[in-house]
Structure 1
Amino acid sequence: MSQRYSKKIVGYAAYCISALAVVTVSQMSRADAASLSFSATGTNPISGGSSNALSATAVFDNSVAGQLKLTLTNTGPGASVPTDILTGLFWDYAGSPLSNLTLSSAKATSLITNNVTSTGDFDLTKVNGNKVEWGFAKTTASSGLGGTANVSSNQVTQHYGIGTAGFGINPGFGLSGGQQMNYGIITGYDSANPAVSGGTFIKNSATFTFTGLPTNFDLAKISNLRFQYGTGLDEPSTYYIAPPPPPKKVPEPGATVALGLFAVGALRVSKKKSLVSA
């Protein structure tokens, strides 16, 4: 085989491999996303046969090394009864237990009392003196966090949770005295009864920062989220339901073109080789 034909064969092969490499890189998905959002909706049955809509979101963010930030938001309509108030979130993590995870701060930028909104930098671990209004609990028990409930099926099976009510969970969420629904999260009022209209609540959302995150932490392993309302585990809760997996992708036009180029290149190389051998 002449040197000229050898160079052409190498050139065809390099071109085809390069084309396939470009397509492969363009189809790679990012696995290092820094935030992940979960949402859930439901209804809160109330007296008289009516019901109130419930909805909330939880956004986890680990863009800062060693930290996990959680923004918990009530996205439903205004609260009318205590069981419309978002008071807790529970979740699971499919990786190794987060044994060093610690709640380092809990903040809100807006509070609402008697329909009057105040803004600022509110520390939810030190409101009303040193009383902790939101706390964090975790466990490695196979049964989860547990807690008191009228029906055992209402107990918390998740292994991590935050809340402004204790829910009977040991070691509990650290709330000492007062109405446990206070400093829960609402968007506002909607014909609120006296128990709600006279309370103090976080308006819209609160942000919680955890430290002690391991280096191999994977956001995608967060699952089984339970959004809890009211002050008892037998009161309304909603769950995040993962969407079905996307349909299997067909090869993109770029991939088809690259494969076609590879086939054409291989055919031309084969023909050249036959001519040289003749």
Structure 2
Amino acid sequence: MSQLYSQKIVGYVACCISALAVVTVSQMSKADAALMTFSATGTNAASGGTSATLAAKAVFDDSIAGKLTLTLTNTGPGASVPSDVLTGIFWDYGGSALTSLTLSSAKAPTVITNNKTTGSNIDLTKVGGTEVEWGFAKTTASSGLGGASGVLKPVTQHYGIGTAGFGISPGFGLSGGQQFNYGIITGYDSSNPAVNGGTFVKNSATFVFSGLPTGFDSTKIQNVRFQYGTSLDEPSTYYIAPPPPPKKVPEPTATVALGLFAVGVLRVAKKKPLVLA
């Protein structure tokens, strides 16, 4: 085998390796998009004005085929009044309507009453075996889920879960329990009797939805609203997307892959046709 032929083979191999590397990088980026995190902060005048911060986080995960997992966390200070309790979340989806989406499970790792643990791994869809404490709502109505007549801040989003009914039409499916019980708090902060006597999920709860369609794109989840208290006129906070970051230099893996590809192409391009004697 001549030296010229060997060099030509090396060029082709380099091209193949670099192309494979580019595909691998692309697949890694797509896998990272399966996890979407939304967070928001705000204030509650009823519990201290501008110094009382409300904070919450929602993580959507569609890494399991056909399922969407939502972990909802209260990240703010302890509750002092009922409107400090995180009782719901609403969102929109920028793709085709998720008409088959249903809530298949809702679990609370820890439940507390008056700052004492009173339960663990609680099924929030059947507390005590009968009562539904967190329900799921969805609609295709252009106006969204809405709310009670005359409410100042109706729900314009098309999907949501909550532990209170919020005056949303039963026809849309929301079937939360009574008042703010089983809402989410981090703890207690000089709380009033109503909060001290309530039963709450500590820190976070996890909800699993089934019926996710093929081609679902978690990056199209948008317009996320965190709701507190038992009325839509009580505090709510919205996720606001940060400004796009400045352009970054390509990752090392991508740079190496593109470099190999360029080298391989140049090697092949410079070779002359092989002539046999």
Aligned to 1:24: 22
Which structure 2 residues correspond to residues 70-81 of structure 1 after superposition, within 5 A?
A: 70-81=70-81
Contact 2:72–2:204 (8 Å) recurs in 1: yes
Aligned to 2:61: 61
Partner-residue secondary structure (3-state), 2:30: coil
Contact 2:107–2:207 (8 Å) recurs in 1: yes
Aligned to 2:267: 265
Post-superposition offset of 1:122: 1.4
Gaps of 5+ in 1: none
TM-score by length of 2: 0.83
Alignment partners' CA distance in 1, 2:258 and 2:63:
36
Post-superposition offset of 1:139: 0.3
Alignment partners' CA distance in 2, 1:227 and 1:123:
21
Post-superposition offset of 1:73: 1.0
Gaps of 5+ in 2: none
- For residues 256 and 113 of structure 1, do their structure 2 counterparts lie closer, same or farther at Cα, with a shift above 3 Å needed? closer
Partner-residue secondary structure (3-state), 2:15: helix
Aligned to 1:204: 203
Alignment partners' CA distance in 2, 1:63 and 1:268:
45
Aligned to 1:118: 118
Post-superposition offset of 1:131: 2.2
Aligned to 2:175: 174
Post-superposition offset of 1:170: 0.9
Higher-Rg structure is 1
- For residues 249 and 164 of structure 1, do their structure 2 counterparts lie closer, same or farther at Cα, with a shift above 3 Å needed? same
Contact 1:79–1:188 (8 Å) recurs in 2: yes
Alignment partners' CA distance in 2, 1:137 and 1:263:
55
Alignment partners' CA distance in 2, 1:91 and 1:254:
40
Alignment partners' CA distance in 2, 1:215 and 1:37:
21
Alignment partners' CA distance in 2, 1:49 and 1:39:
21
Post-superposition offset of 1:77: 0.9
Partner-residue secondary structure (3-state), 1:32: helix
Deviation per CA, 1:6-57: give whole Å up to 9, x if none. Answer: 6256336415524642552354243234432222222222366453111111
Single out whichever of 205-214 and 46-55 deviates more from structure 2. Answer: 46-55
- For residues 4 and 129 of structure 1, do their structure 2 counterparts lie closer, same or farther at Cα, with a shift above 3 Å needed? closer
- Aligned CA-pair RMSD: 2.8
What is the identity, as a one-letter code, of the residue corresponding to 2:193? Answer: P
- For residues 165 and 261 of structure 1, do their structure 2 counterparts lie closer, same or farther at Cα, with a shift above 3 Å needed? same
Aligned to 1:41: 41
Post-superposition offset of 1:261: 2.8
Partner-residue secondary structure (3-state), 1:189: coil
TM-score by length of 1: 0.83
